[in-house]
Structure 1
Amino acid sequence: MEMLVGIAAGILTSVSMLPQLIKVIKEKDVQTLSPVMIVVLLVGVSLWVVYGIMKSEWPIILSNAFSVLVNATLLTYYLIYRE
């Protein structure tokens, strides 16, 4: 049961930024984004990946690695589209 809860939590938190990323890609508008929030979140999920590796917990590693990818992409688009 623990594993299922971990997997569900990981999936939900991992995909939570996808709608924002899709919106940014479609509209090429990043004015409403906070770069500080993106960086803090990116550091946080990166640390979760490290923690998951230290504990050998694949649900933590995979879900947060996906979050790193999404947030790094969002930050990249922010840097490209900012005025």
Structure 2
Amino acid sequence: MTNAIEILGFVAATLTTAAFLPQVYQTWRTKNAQSLSLYMLLIFFVGVLSWLVYGVLINSMPVIVANVVTAILTFMLLFFKYTYKN
């Protein structure tokens, strides 16, 4: 049963993390981050880092992996927001 729960966690982590890929790609491709909310990205980034710490504390690989990748993608969006100022 534990393996099924871990698999479900990895599936959920993959889907929610992958949801950011189109936004990162579109922002990079268009070089336009004007429509991205800086405050939303900052709040989300802090939340993702909090989930990452939580995942480490409970030793949950799906939570850790998903939030490491999501933190990187969110950081990229923050970088684009700063770099592509209009």
TM range, normalised to the smaller chain? over 0.9
Deviations along 1:12-31, one digit per CA (max 9) or x if unpaired, are: 11111110010010000111
Q: SS of the counterpart of 1:31?
A: coil
**Structure 1 residues 50-69: aligned runs within 5 Å:** 50-69=53-72
C-alpha displacement of 1:35: 0.8
Aligned length: 83
- Structure 2: gaps (5+ residues): none
Question: Which of residues 21, 31, 47 in structure 1 aligns to 2:50?
Answer: 47
Report sequence identity in percent.
30
> Residue in 1 aligned with 2:76?
73
> Are positions 1:36 and 2:39 aligned together?
yes
- Computing the radius of gyration over CA atoms, which structure comes out larger, 1 or 2? 2
- Code of the aligned partner of 2:63: I
Distance 2:41 2:18 in 1: 15
Alignment partner, residue 16 of structure 1: 19
- Runs of 4+ deviating beyond 2 Å: none
What amino acid does structure 2 have at the position aligned with 1:22?
Y
Provide the TM-score with structure 2 as the length reference.
0.92
Paired with 1:40 and 1:21, the residues of 2 have a C-alpha distance of 17
* Structure 1 unmatched ranges of 5 or more: none
Aligned Cα root-mean-square deviation (Å): 0.8
